[in-house]
Structure 1
Amino acid sequence: MDTFEDLKCWQAANFLKNRIRNEVLNLIPDKEKYELKSQILRAARSSTANIAEGWGRYHFLDSRKFFFNSRGSLGEILDHLIEANDCKYISMDLYLSIREDCFTALKILNGYIRYLTEKNKLPPKQ
């Protein structure tokens, strides 16, 4: 049986989430524990969780709103990465590398949304 884990968009978002957990969070100082550090982790978790929840919905229109929420979370991750770089918590090289993964996840998710939109088009009204 296929699950959301088989979706390329979930895999890309999960890869991004793991990079953030393994490469970014430990660089953010403790003074940001309940601010930036917490927010970036929540956004990363939300990116995959919304794809999983959308996959579990029965109707495409219901699913689509969760995929759009995931897109929003990926945008939020990018904003948090910019903040972390601006505050010199992460290097420019790390920022650019993870930024690229963020855009890759967005592109794959946008493609999946486009695919589902085309697949679920209703016939024209007669």
Structure 2
Amino acid sequence: MTEVKSYRDLMVWQKSMDLVVICYKLTSQFPKTEIYGLSSQIQRAAVSIPANIAEGKGRNHLGDYIRHLSIANGSLKELETHLMIVGRLGYLKDEELKVTLNKCEEIGRMLHSLMEKLAQKKKE
């Protein structure tokens, strides 16, 4: 595994940042009654993903890094759930929802892979 100098070099962080932008654009379409409800929840969960990746990378201990990646993954699952709820409520077009959930799945795979590699490194 090549040593990554900065969290900004991580593809999973970059894709997570893109997901934040997507989520903010999507929530801008929601009814104004959702501004303190689902819109806020979606935005907070989305922001938490790259923030925890960055915070974990900034920690001095590998175990802390892995723990923060796990927190990021939890926020990702929370985001997916909120997106499925807004899909059921009809706030998003089916295609928008599908594309966004596919991005979530990709990020989830990347997080899992990174956690596995780091866990292996920790055992060495």
Paired residues for 1:1-126 under 5 Å: 2-22=5-25, 24-122=26-124
Distance in 2 separating the partners of 1:39 and 1:101? 18
After superposition, what is the alpha-carbon deviation per residue over 1:55-86, rounded to whole angstroms, capped at 9, x for unaligned?
01011111111110000010011001101111
Q: Note the aligned Cα RMSD (angstroms).
A: 1.2
The TM-score with structure 1 as length reference comes to: 0.91
CA distance in 1, matches of 2:16, 2:27: 16
Measured in 1, the distance between the counterparts of 2:39 and 2:11 equals 26
Q: Which runs of 5+ in 1 are unaligned?
A: none
Question: Per chain length, whose mean CA-contact separation is higher, i.e. which structure has more relative contact order (CA < 8 Å, sep 6+)?
Answer: 1
The number of aligned residues is: 121
TM-score w.r.t. the length of structure 2 is 0.93
**Deviation of residue 16 (structure 1)?**
1.2
Per-residue CA deviation, residues 13-34 of structure 1 (Å, 9 max, x unaligned), is 1121111122x11111110110
Question: Residue 2 of structure 1: CA displacement?
Answer: 2.3
Structure 1 stretches of at least 4 aligned residues deviating more than 6 Å after TM superposition: none
Distance 1:27 1:36 in 2: 12
